[in-house]
Amino acid sequence: MKNSIKVERAKKNITQAELADLIKVSRQTINAMELGKYVPSTVLALRLAAIFLIPVEQLFQLEESDWS
């Protein structure tokens, strides 16, 4: 699953650690999501979208490989 967390985080000028504190996860979790190594739960995805004030579909995009 592709995401634009890093881009949205840069727009708000916040660090991985600051974002992690806001959504109550570790900085390593934010890093793993940005690298595409971790797919968040629905609740976590919704929290992130709410922080960035964008729809969850804008923050996360399914890739063709996600369908198989």
Q: Report the distance separating Cα 37 and Cα 29, nearest Å.
A: 9
Identity of the residue numbered 67 = W
Global pTM reads 0.90
Confidence at residue 68, expressed as pLDDT on a 0 to 100 scale = 79
Confidence at residue 65, expressed as pLDDT on a 0 to 100 scale = 86
Confidence at residue 49, expressed as pLDDT on a 0 to 100 scale = 98
Q: Report the distance separating Cα 49 and Cα 55, nearest Å.
A: 6
Grouped pLDDT means (10 residues each) for the chain, 68 residues: 96 98 97 96 97 97 87
Tally the domains of the chain: 1
**Domain hosting residue 9, numbered range:** 2-67
SS3 track for 5-50:
HHHHHHHHCCCHHHHHHHHCCCHHHHHHHHCCCCCCCHHHHHHHHH
Confidence at residue 51, expressed as pLDDT on a 0 to 100 scale = 97
Q: Which CATH number covers residue 38?
A: 1.10.260.40
Confidence at residue 20, expressed as pLDDT on a 0 to 100 scale = 98
